[in-house]
Amino acid sequence: MAISVWGLLLTITITVQAQPQLACESVGDGSPVCSCGSGRVSCKDADLTHVPTDIPPDTETLELSGNKITSLPAMVFDGLPLLSTLDLSDNKISSIEVGAFDGLGGSLKNLKLNNNELVSLKEGIFRNLTTLEYLYLKDNMISTLQSGVFRGLLGVFKISFDGNSIASFPADIFSDVPPLRTIELPRNRIKSLDDILPALPSNMISLDLSGNNLGNLPAGAFSGFPRLSSLHLSSCNISDLPQDVFLGLSSLAYLYLNDNDLVELRNNSFGAHRRLAIVNFSNNKIARIEEGLFSRFPRLANIALQSNQLTSLPPRVFDNLSRLREIRLEKNKLESLDDASIFKDLESIWIIYLQENNIKSLPSGIFSEANLPNLKLLTLHYNSLTVIENGTFDNLPSIQTIYLQHNPLEQVGCGMVPSKDKSASLERLTISCTCHLKPLYDCPGFDDWLGEKTICVSPIWVWRVKLKGVSRDKLVCSRAGANRTDWIALVILLLLCNLFIIA
C-alpha cells in the first residue's frame, strides 16, 4: 500500500516536471504560473526554468524577470504578433539561439535582458527585430562582440551595456543601426576611446562611459559627435583636462566629470557650449577654478562642486549665470567668500549649499545685496562663523530654510532672522543653541517670529525645539562643534523611546 502511494506521487511529480508550464491556463488542479489580463502577462519570480507555453496571442507585455531561465531556443516567442515589451531580466540566460526572437519581428519595441549570464551574443540573434527601439543588456558578462551582431536592428535608439566586460567595438558594429542615439557603457573595461568611438554613429546624443579606466583624454576627443548633448565621464581616473578636450561639442547640455582626480578647471579645456545646463565636478580634488570659466555658459542651471579642495573661489565666478538654480559647494575648504558680489546675478537660484567648509565670516551684503528673489534654501552649517551681522539674510523674499548649526557663533543680533514682512515664507533657521543666543530673548517680536522660527538642533537635549521653548538659563556656553557623544546619546535615546513605544 505504502509503496503504491509513493509510486503514485512519483508519477505525478514526473508528469508535472515533463509537462511544459502553461502561462495562463490552469493545469489539472494546479494554478497558472502567471497573472494574465488586458494584454499583460506577468510571470515574475515564478521559479520558471523555461519560457512557459500558451501565452495568449494578444499579449503586449510579457514579464519573465526573476526566474531561472537558462536558454532561449529558436522560435520560443512564436505566435505573439502584438508583443511590444519583453522583460527577461534577472534570469540565468547564458545562451540565446539564432531565431529565438524571430517571431517578434514587426512588433517588439523593448527588450530587457539585464542581469543574466550572457558572455557573448551570436551573430544574427536580433536579425528580425526591425522595430526594436530599446535594448537593455546591463550586468551580463559580455566581452567581445562580432560585427554583425546588431544587424537587423533598424530602429534601435538606445542600447545599454552597463556592467559588462567590453573593451572595444568592431568598427562597423553599428553600421546597420543608423538611429542609435544613446549608448550606455558604464562599468566596462574600456581603456582607450579609440577602441570605442570610431564605431559609434556620428549623430549620437548621449554617451555614458562612467566607471571605465580611461585616464586622461586627448584633445578633441569627442569632436566627431557634434550633436552630443549628454556626456558621462564619472569615475574614469581623469586627473587633467587638456586644452580643447571638448572641442566641437556645441550641443553639450549635461557634462558629468564627478568622482575623478581633477585638480583644476581651466578655461581652455572647454569650448563654446552655449546649451550647457548641468556640470558635475563633485568629488574630485579641485583646488583652483580659472576666472570666467562658468560665465561663458549662459544656460547653466546646476553646478556641482561639492567634495573638492577649494580654499577660495575666483572673483566673479558666478557672474552672468541668471539661469542657475542650484550651486553645490559643500565639503570644500573655503575659508572666506572674498567677493561680496559673488552671487549678484543669480536671479533664478533656488539653493546654495555651503556647509562643511571653513568659512569664518560672510562679507557684508553677500546675500542681502545680491538679487536673489528665488532663493529657498541656504546651508551654512558646519563652518567657522563667529558673527552673523544683522540683516545678513534680508531681501530674500522666497527664503524658507537657513541652516546655521555647528558654527562657533559668538555674536548674533535681533536682525539675524529676517523679519516677517520681508521674508514671510521663512519656515526655519536652524542653529546650535548656546549661551551666545541669550540676547535674542529680548528682541522685539521674539515670541511671534524670531523665537518661533529659530530652531535648535544642538545640543541634543533641545534637538528640534523652538528657541522660544527653551528657557534662557538652560543655554550653556559649550563649544558648538558636532559632538560625537551627543549623537551616540541621541541614538540611544531614540532606541529607548522605540522600546517604550513597543512595550
Site of interaction with ligand NAG (CB under 6 A): 102-103, 105-106, 128, 130, 213, 215, 237, 258-259, 267, 278, 280, 282-283, 290-292, 295-296, 302, 304, 316, 319-320, 387, 389-390, 411-415
Contact 165, 142 (CB under 8 A): yes
User: CB 318 → ligand NAG: shortest distance, Å?
Assistant: 9
Helix, strand, coil: what percent of the chain each, to 5?
Answer: 15, 15, 70
Nearer to ligand NAG, 287 or 414 (CB): 414
Nearer to ligand NAG, 107 or 458 (CB): 107
The amino acid that residue 321 corresponds to is L
Nearer to ligand NAG, 105 or 363 (CB): 105
Rounded Cα–Cα distance for residues 319 and 309 (Å): 22
- The residues pairing with 399 across neighbouring beta strands, listed in sequence order, are none
The amino acid that residue 312 corresponds to is S
Nearer to ligand NAG, 421 or 442 (CB): 442
Q: Which residue has the cell 528665488?
A: 374
Contact 255, 279 (CB under 8 A): yes
Nearer to ligand NAG, 89 or 332 (CB): 332
User: CB 68 → ligand NAG: shortest distance, Å?
Assistant: 27
Nearer to ligand NAG, 93 or 236 (CB): 236
Nearer to ligand NAG, 90 or 102 (CB): 102
User: CB 284 → ligand NAG: shortest distance, Å?
Assistant: 9
Nearer to ligand NAG, 178 or 215 (CB): 215
- Three cell numbers, residue 101: 526572437
User: CB 415 → ligand NAG: shortest distance, Å?
Assistant: 5
Closest residue by beta carbon to ligand NAG:
105
Nearer to ligand NAG, 195 or 290 (CB): 290
User: CB 107 → ligand NAG: shortest distance, Å?
Assistant: 8
User: CB 45 → ligand NAG: shortest distance, Å?
Assistant: 30
**387-392: long-range contacts (C-beta < 8 A, 24 or more apart)?**
387/361, 387/411, 387/412, 388/362, 388/412, 388/413, 388/416, 389/362, 389/364, 389/413, 389/415, 390/414, 390/415, 390/416, 391/415, 391/418, 392/362, 392/366, 392/367, 392/368, 392/416
- The residues pairing with 72 across neighbouring beta strands, listed in sequence order, are 96
User: CB 483 → ligand NAG: shortest distance, Å?
Assistant: 25
Rounded Cα–Cα distance for residues 202 and 228 (Å): 9
User: CB 283 → ligand NAG: shortest distance, Å?
Assistant: 4
Rounded Cα–Cα distance for residues 250 and 241 (Å): 18
Of 355, 241, 341, nearest to 288 by C-alpha is: 241
User: CB 239 → ligand NAG: shortest distance, Å?
Assistant: 6
The conformational region for residue 11 under phi > 0 = left, psi -120 to 50 = alpha, else beta, is: alpha
